[in-house]
Amino acid sequence: MALRDIIGHHKQKNILKGLIRNKRLPSSLLFKGEAGIGKRLTAINFAKVINCLKPNDNDCCDHCISCRKIDSKVHPDVFYLEQGEVEITIDQIRALEDFIFLKPSEGNKRVVIIDNSHQMNVNAQNAFLKTLEEPPPDCILILITSSPDKMLDTIRSRCFQIGFTPLPKEKFRAFIERQELTTDKGLLELCSGCIGSLLSGELKVRVESFYQYLDEMQRGEVKERWADNQEVQAWFNLALVYLRDRLLYTLMGAEAQPLLHTPTETVSIEEAIEAYEKMLSIVMDLDNNLNKKILWNLSKEVVKCDRN
C-alpha cells in the first residue's frame, strides 16, 4: 500500500506530499484524530515515502526492499513505539533517543512512529520535550494520538500538526460495498466512518465487553472492570447509545432503528428520559471522576431498571 491507496484523507495526504515535494520536512509531526480512522496507516506509508528507493510522484513505489521492510517492521531506520493503552515510560523514551541520534544506515532518514503518544507519562513527556527542543538531524518524529489534550502544550506546539477526521458516510459506505464486507448494520453506524475500528474487530470487542459489564451491573455485582481510562470512555459512550435506543423504542416502538439492541423491557417515557439524562451527566463529568468503583455504582443505578 502507498499513500495513494489509503481511503479518504485527501487533504492530509496532499499536505504530506507537499512537504516531500518542497523538501520542507519538519522534524516532528503530530497526527491527531479519533481512534481507528487511518492515522497509523498514514504514518507508516509516509515513512515508506521518505525512505523509498524508487519514489514516484512524491509517493512510495510500495515494491522496493525499503518499502517491504517498513511494512514488515524490520527496517533498521524506522522505530515503532506501539504500547496500546499501556503507559509509555521515561526509559522507553531514553531508548528511543539512543536510536534517533544515530545516522541512517539504509534509508534517507530515521523515522520514529509513536502510536498513542498521549500515553507518555509526565516524566516521559518532559524527557521527550527536550528531544523536540533539540531535534536530531536526519530524523523525523511522528506522534499519533486520539487525545492530544492529554499531551503537554509545549509538545504539541513544537510539532507540525495534521488533523484527521472520519470518512464521510457516503465514502465509507462505498468502501464497504467495494470490499463486499458484511457486518452488523448497527456496527456500521457505531464506527462512524472509522474504518480501522471496524476492520480490526476492535469495535465488536468493545460492544461485547459493554454487554458483559452491563449484565454484571444489572445482576447487582460490585466490580471495577474497566482496564484503563480509554476503556471507561468507550464503555460510557456505548452506554449512552444503549439508553438512547431504549428511549427511541419507548417513543416510537417498532419504528425505532436501534444501533445496539432492540429493547424488550417496558419502561415509561419519564424513566427512559431520566436514565438517559443521568448517563449523559456521568459522561460529561468523566474527566473529573475517574474513580472506577464510584462510576460502576453510579452506572449500576442508572441501568438497574433494565433488568426484568
Residue 34's nearest CA partner among 141, 116, 142 is 116
Mean pLDDT in residue range 122-135: 92
Q: Among residues 214, 219, 217, 221, which one has the least CA distance to residue 245?
A: 214
Q: Which residues contact 2 (CB under 8 A, 6 or more apart)?
A: 45, 48, 49, 59, 60, 61, 62
Residue type, 145: T
What are 5-33's pLDDT values in tens digits? 887 888 999 999 999 999 899 999 999 98
pLDDT tens per residue, range 224-260: 677 777 778 778 888 888 888 878 777 777 676 767 7
| Domain 3-163 CATH assignment equals 3.10.450.50 | no
Per-residue model confidence (pLDDT) at position 6: 84
Going by DSSP bridges, is the β-strand pair 28-32/139-145 parallel, antiparallel, or unpaired? parallel
Write the DSSP symbol of residue 75: -
Place of cell 460492544: 207
Q: Which three cell numbers stand for residue 40?
A: 497509523
The domain locations on the chain are 3-163, 201-306
CA 137, distance to chain mean position in Å, is: 29
Percent of the chain at pLDDT above 70? 79
pLDDT single digits (tens) 64-105 = 999 999 999 999 999 999 876 678 999 999 988 889 988 999
Let me know: does 135 contact 6? Beta carbons within 8 Å. no
Spatial distance between the Cα atoms of 250 and 258, rounded to a whole number of angstroms: 11
Helix intervals (H) in the chain: 10-21, 39-51, 65-71, 90-100, 122-133, 153-157, 169-179, 185-190, 195-199, 202-218, 229-252, 269-284, 292-303
Spell out the residues 6+ positions from residue 173 whose beta carbon is closer than 8 angstroms to its own.
188
Is the model's pLDDT at 307 over the cut of 50? no
Looking at residue 167, what DSSP letter applies? Answer: P
